[in-house]
Amino acid sequence: MSSSSLVFAAQRKAPVLVAPAKPTPRELKALSDIDDQPSLRFYRSGLFFYRHNPSKAGHDPARAVKEALARCLVFYYPIAGRLRDQGGPGGKLLVDCNGEGAVLVEAYAD
C-alpha cells in the first residue's frame, strides 16, 4: 500500500490581540462548578485552512476574519477576557471580562 504526503511551506505572522469592536461590560464571572473541574483545565486552539479563490483577488481574507471576530466579541465578550485563579483551597476560576482581546495568528501557505 503506498502512501502520499502533502508537503507545503507556511509562513505565519506575529500573533495579534483582536479586541471587541465596541465597549463591553467590565466584570468578573465565576465559572460554574461543572466548568471549573480540574480535568477541564486545558487550552484549546484551532487551525483552519481556506482554499485560494481567484475571484476574490484584491480582498484580504485575514482582515475580514479579524473584523468579524471583533464584532462577535461584542456579544461573546468573556472570550476577550482572561481566566484568573481566585486562589486558596479549591482555586475557583473566574473570567476577568476586561476586553483585552482574543489571539489571532495569520498565516499563508504555498
CATH number of domain containing 100: 3.30.559.10
Give the number of other Cβ atoms within 10 Å of residue 38's Cβ: 7
Q: What is the value of pTM for the model shown?
A: 0.77
Say what the pLDDT of residue 15 is. Answer: 95
- Tell me the three state secondary structure of residue 40: helix
Residues of the domain holding 94: 15-51+60-109
- Tell me the three state secondary structure of residue 50: coil
φ and ψ at residue 69, rounded to 5 degrees: -60, -45
In a domain, 9, yes or no: no
d(CA 14, CA 103): 10
Number of domains present in the structure of the chain:
1
What does pLDDT average to over the chain? 87
Side chain identity, residue 54: P
Say what the pLDDT of residue 2 is. Answer: 63
Q: Which residues of the chain have pLDDT under 50?
A: none
CA dihedral 26, 15, 35, 22 (to 10 degrees): 30
In a domain, 8, yes or no: no
